[in-house]
Structure 1
Amino acid sequence: MSTSLVLQAGRRRYRGWVLPVAAIALWWLASHQGWSQSGLFVSPEKVLATGWEQIASGKFWRAISASLARNLSGFVIGTTLGLVLGCLLGLSRYFERLVGPSFNTFKQISLFAWIPLISVWFGLGDVAKVVFLSLAALVPVVVNTCDGLRNVPPSLLEVARVYGFSRRQTIMGVMLPAALPSIFTGLYLALVYSWLATIGAEYLLVSGEGIGNTLIDGSEHFMMDLVLFGMLVIGLVGWALNALARTLERRMQRLYGIAPR
């Protein structure tokens, strides 16, 4: 690769840092120039000091491990059920007629509308939060898996018919590989939605530890440095999960010879 191409790739890679760096610089300038006299306006140094205190005391590690454990549990349960239900809806017309109308009604209900029922049925602990996260991951996986299987090009199915493929061979060798880009999209959305739902669940179902509870503690005690630290952690974890999902998607695409989206 030529030097010019390397430089261009480097510029594109770091272009996304322009806005965050500019925002932090403006924040630092505003705090040091005294643009706000509010006691709730804290400096970046104060947020960093609070963050270091949270890390050194072990509070941060307990909170982030609890949040990630809930997120992983809900994601695995929701995506597993979503893949099974999506395949059944996409492959069986009878199952689609039987369950499809009910699922289409279910997916129109706002996720947070389930909070009162979940809290009554499962309490306010980790079980309730995992159920909530599973619902957040379920819907995008079902929808994208079903759509991917339904939208397999007819030409591929015709080739399978000409070669005398059995039903199982057609599904495993033709339909599922063709539907993988859509399935990947569902898994990616499930990963994003489950992390967002993790914070929402911890904020609304306040029992236990987690990053959402860190935000609650900060707001209740008017510690904006703790609130901002929690928000930064949430954003960084979301960015890391997004990068992980994109990396896994690209590797799976290369493995199955699928053109990147």
Structure 2
Amino acid sequence: MSELSLEKSAISVNSGFEKSLKVLQALILPIAFIALWAVASALQWLDPKLIPSPLTVLGGAIQSFSQPELWQGFVASLSRNFTGYAIGASLGVAFGVALGTTRWVSWIFAPSFNVLRQVSLFAWLPLISTFLGYGNGAKILFITLSVFYPVALHSLEGVSSISAKYSEVARVYQFPKLYTYRKLILPAASPQIFVGLQLGLIFAWLATVGSEFLLANYGVGLGNLVIRGREQFNVSLIILGMLSIGIVGVILNSILARIERKVLRWQQRS
């Protein structure tokens, strides 16, 4: 019993050490960059009006955190991101699975889907803004489109990769359609579906910030924060906005990665 507990504690220590090592590895380049930036600023290699020192940026960040505009920008950007992602991911999974399992859906929609997914995402913006203007709905639709295509494509690939043996078993035993989807198709396709969901999350955040850049005549957001910094020639505000955008993107992807590990682990146990 004691040997087992010692083995478990050793495994937990190793796991904790590996996590700490990964965190340290991820911080090497940012720390080196900030150190080089600080040295260049101290030696006056950089024009402080164009590129302020890290301490100046930190002071500006502390001041910005006390202002409601920054938090309103966070809330607005995340709200658009989650709304567009939820709609795009739901439609993408449903469409991809239907495309891979239903012949008439594939016959009608597959040719148009294969053509439309080749269109650059930002090519949709002029059309969207023409019909919906520069409002929140236009931005959410743009985010939805950015999520829909990768999620639908990977869901289709996941369904198409299911072995024909499983489909034959479902036909022989005459499983109900709902049971087949729930117990066979979705669990088997879930690794590829999660790849699509992860890509969709990356594209959603890029589209959120991109829509705030390109449809900047309405509302608030982190993208608008960067634009305001450019208009005011406030480099500290620009850098703060860039760092905030990057940190939020990393956090969102790490959350989805944890969910994916839990879901797929549950699938393997079942």
Q: Normalised by the size of structure 2, how large is the TM-score?
A: 0.90
| Equivalence for 2:232 | 221
User: Could you tell me how far apart the structure 2 residues matched to 1:75 and 1:168 are?
Assistant: 25
The 3-state SS of whatever aligns with 1:2 is helix
Q: Percent identical across equivalent pairs?
A: 39
Name the SS of the counterpart of 1:30 in structure 2: helix
CA–CA distance in structure 2, aligned partners of residues 191 and 30 of structure 1: 36
- Equivalent-residue separation in structure 1 for 2:17 and 2:178 (angstroms): 49
Letter in 2 for 1:116: P
RMSD of aligned alpha carbons: 1.8
Equivalent residue for 2:37?
A: 27
1:82 positional shift: 1.2
Following TM superposition, by how much is the alpha carbon of 1:164 offset from its aligned partner in structure 2, in angstroms? 4.1
**Which of 57, 72, 77 is the equivalent residue of 2:67?**
57
Instruction: Indicate the SS of the match to 1:42.
Output: coil
Which residue does the alignment assign to 2:209? 199
Q: Number of matched residues? A: 259
What is the correspondence of 1:1-261 to structure 2 with a 5 Å cutoff?
1-2=9-10, 5=14, 6-37=16-47, 39-206=49-216, 207-257=218-268
Question: How many angstroms does 1:95 deviate by?
Answer: 1.0
Aligned to 1:34, the other structure's residue is in SS state coil
Deviates more, 1:143-152 or 1:4-13: 4-13
Measure the CA separation in 2 of the matches of 1:229 and 1:56: 13
8 A contact 2:155–2:192 mirrored in 1: yes
Q: Give a deviation string over 1:137-183, Cα, whole Å, max 9, x none.
A: 11111101111111102232233344443444333221111001111
Shift of 1:7: 3.4
CA distance in 2, matches of 1:44, 1:255: 45
Q: Which runs of 5+ in 2 are unaligned?
A: 1-8
Structure 1 window deviating more from structure 2 (153-162 vs 242-251): it is 153-162
Contact 2:52 2:235 in 1 (8 A): yes
Q: Distance in 2 between matches of 1:88 and 1:258?
A: 27
C-alpha contact 2:150 2:200 (8 A) present in aligned 1? yes
CA distance in 1, matches of 2:62, 2:228: 17
Q: Normalised by the size of structure 1, how large is the TM-score?
A: 0.93
* Ranges in structure 1 where 5+ consecutive residues have no aligned partner: none
State the distance in 1 between where 2:19 and 2:224 align. 40
Residues 258/148 of structure 1: CA separation in 2 closer, same or farther (3 Å cut): farther
Pair 233,193 (structure 1): closer, same or farther in 2 beyond 3 Å? same
Distance 1:215 1:256, change over 3 A: same
Q: Report the AA paired with residue 250 of structure 2.
A: W
Which deviates further from its counterpart, 156-165 or 61-70?
A: 156-165
Counterparts of 2:182 and 2:72, CA distance in 1: 42
Q: Deviations over 1:59-101 (max 9, x none)?
A: 1101111100110111111112112211211111221111100
Structure 1 residues 55 and 102 mapped into 2: Cα distance closer, same or farther (>3 Å)? same
Q: 1:9 to 1:112 in 2, by over 3 A?
A: closer
Shift of 1:17: 1.1
